[in-house]
Chains A and B, each alone.
Chain A
Amino acid sequence: MSLLKLEHVTKRFGGLTAVSDFNLDLQEGELVGLIGPNGAGKTTIFNLITNTYLVSEGKVILGGKDITGMKTDRITAEGIARTFQNIRLFGELTALDNVRTAFHLRLKSSVLSAVFGLPGYRKEEKEIDDKAMLLLKTLGLEKYKDDLAGSLPYGLQRKLEISRALATNPKVLLLDEPAAGMNPEETLALAALIMRIRKEFNLTVLLIEHDMSLVMSICERIVVLDHGVTIARGLPKEIQNNPEVITAYLGTGDLYA
């Protein structure tokens, strides 16, 4: 079943067309890779899906519902969560509070009920605490719950961003270069982690990644972007041997450069 669909999505920044006529049909449960050289327009596509940038043309459809132009926080509530290429944690909040914040969108209690600690709120807050701790445990971060997010090492920050995204209870998870800055060992562990959470949380994943070994090993399908144009799509094997893709990557013929 089609879960997330992008139809003829185009984004122009002034004279620059960052994304042009982009189409994608993410099936439920799929893990699709989005690759392409720097400046190809990958992050822009994430920003268009979440309406952080308004699309110039085209439609974004989630589970049959047109979400084009819907407010970003509503889209998150509808079930799309993301991480950021240049980590955007709440640096001065603890790891636990980062995750707890992402549960806020489902809070039912009113402000006054929260301020005066009424039973309804206390119950919800307790549930948030438990779920947040569980998420931190799932990602192996429980030791760091009281550390300020900004003070954590890089690799842990990336993981914390993933757990924060999971806290919004998404159907679709958008990961923007989660392996950036990781060594091969960490990248391997990350691949295992992505596979595990996908199963555990019933996720459909769209993954932007530069590390080809990661993309080739875990993605079921790959879409290649260059200068905003989709130049190839297919199975990892097909992409690997696609001459156009190889030229796009500096023409070196080495995807693993």
Chain B
Amino acid sequence: MDRRMKLILTIVSLLVFILLLWLAESYMDPFIKRILNVAAIYVILGVSLNLINGFTGQFSLGHAGFMSLGAYASALLYMSPALKATNFFIEPIIWPLSEIQIPFFFALLVGGAIAAVAGFAVGAPCLRVGGDYLAIVTYGFAEIIRVILNNLQNITNGPLGLKGLPTYTNLYWSWGWALFTIFFIKKLVDSSYGRALKSIREDEVAAEAMGVNLFKHKTLAFVIGAFFAGIGGGLLGSLLMTIDPNSFNISLTFQIVMIVLLGGLGSITGSVVMGVSIAFLMELLRFVESPMTIFGLTIPGISGMRMLIFALILVITVIFFRRGLFGQKEFSWDWIFRSKRRNAE
């Protein structure tokens, strides 16, 4: 199949997708819309974490930390001064944050940028440690962020969090950013820079000996991954309408790690498919947390049961399907049409 044909197919499917978004945004029931928004955010988070963990091979557990930075930074910028005043009743918010209000889009960008700076700050010193240590250090970083958010009363409102956030997040914003994330990271990993990142994953010693600057490229992965995590956090904050320091804890990071592992380390397609699937599964499995009666035995609702089920799925995947659903494979038009033809034979 030639390039032009593929381009046309891509454009047509994009148009169809936008039409579907418009239909969903206009006619779907709010409950489904909410899941679809969460799905887009999971896609953003999964794909961006995959850049760090899957393509560059640096096992990071810091994603929730980057998300919280994005969520707080953007919320503090798009909230109206009046809303801030009602939120910060224990201790007023510091100037100039008390006065500033900028449009949602720019607030998101600033949130992403702040997360990216944090990505650099974590990534750079972490380069000396590898493997398991990196996981611990990045997890520690996310915890530190949480503690800081809890204690900066006059900037973050401390443990009270931010409430009544305006819901700017809709399907256009969330899926628009999801598509951009997919585009950006796909183009990146297919480029010369992407090959350098993958070479680090494959063999650091050899990569460096072939002239790949380890410091530059590992921080690059962290900065870009953190940027999109910050955007995802900003979108999620405005969708949930409430954020507090504990909204972004290790169990959120765990969910995103799960999306990446189940989809396949190094497969963007995998992260997209699993991001959407997990968003729906989380809702479908809600029933397991409500009280139920089995063979006359009444079990009270146990919150956290869903995570237990996911943990089980994850353990089974890691043991029996190490490469996840897609391994390192990616969706492509060639692949679709080839498999169609094979089926026809």
Contacts and interface: CB of A to CB of B under 8 A. Distances in A.
Given A90-B198, A90-B202, A92-B328, A72 B208 contact: yes
A194 interface: no
B26 interface: no
B188 interface: yes
Nearest to B266: A92
A117 B193 CA distance: 12
Contact of A101 (B187, B196, B266, B328): B196
B212 A104 contact: yes
Nearest to A46: B209
Contacts of B198: 90, 92-93, 97, 101
Interface stretch (A33-41, A76-84, A239-247): A76-84
A205 B178 CA distance: 50
A91 B193 CA distance: 18
B124 interface: no
A104 B202 contact: no
Contact of B202 (A93, A100, A107, A121): A93
B191 A121 contact: yes
A50 to B, nearest CB: 6
Interface string A142-179: 00000000000000000000001101100000000000
B236 to A, nearest CB: 24
A116 B187 contact: yes
Interface in B205-220: 205-214, 220
A105 interface: yes
Please classify the interface of chain B as helix (H, G, I), strand (E, B), loop, or mixed, using the class held by over half of its residues: helix
A121 B211 CA distance: 19
Interface string A49-91: 0101000000000000000000111001100011010001111
Given A73-B214, A114-B192, A121-B191, A90 B209 contact: no
A168 B192 contact: no
B210 A102 contact: yes
A180 B199 CA distance: 24
A128 interface: yes
Contact of A92 (B187, B188, B192, B202): B202
Contacts of B195: 93, 97, 100-101, 104
Interface residues of A, number: 39
Nearest to B186: A115
A76 B188 contact: no
Contacts of A88: 203, 205-206, 209
B133 interface: no
Q: Chain B, interface size: which category? A: 20 to 34
Contact of A100 (B184, B192, B208, B266): B192
B210 A101 contact: yes
Contact of A114 (B191, B213, B214, B266): B191
* Interface-central residue, B184, B192, B198, by most chain A CB under 10 Å: B192
A82 B212 contact: no
* Interface-central residue, B207, B210, B214, by most chain A CB under 10 Å: B210
Interface string A97-123: 100111111110101001111000100
B187 A114 contact: yes
Given A73-B214, A101-B212, A90 B192 contact: no
A67 to B, nearest CB: 14
Nearest to A106: B211
A100 B195 CA distance: 8
B211 A77 contact: yes
Contact of A72 (B192, B209, B220): B209
Contacts of B266: 92
Contacts of A116: 187
Contacts of B192: 100, 103-104, 107, 109, 114, 121, 124-125, 128
A111 B209 CA distance: 21
Interface of A: 50, 52, 71-73, 76-77, 81-82, 84, 88-93, 97, 100-107, 109, 111, 114-117, 121, 124-125, 128, 164-165, 167-168
Given A73-B211, A164-B210, 15 more contacts: A76-B211, A81-B210, A90-B202, A90-B203, A92-B198, A92-B202, A97-B195, A101-B212, A102-B210, A105-B210, A106-B211, A107-B193, A114-B193, A167-B210, A168-B211
9 contacts: A71-B208, A81-B210, A92-B198, A101-B195, A101-B196, A101-B207, A104-B212, A111-B193, A121-B191
By Cβ-Cβ distance, the 6 closest A-B pairs, closest first, are A105-B211, A90-B202, A88-B206, A114-B191, A76-B211, A102-B210
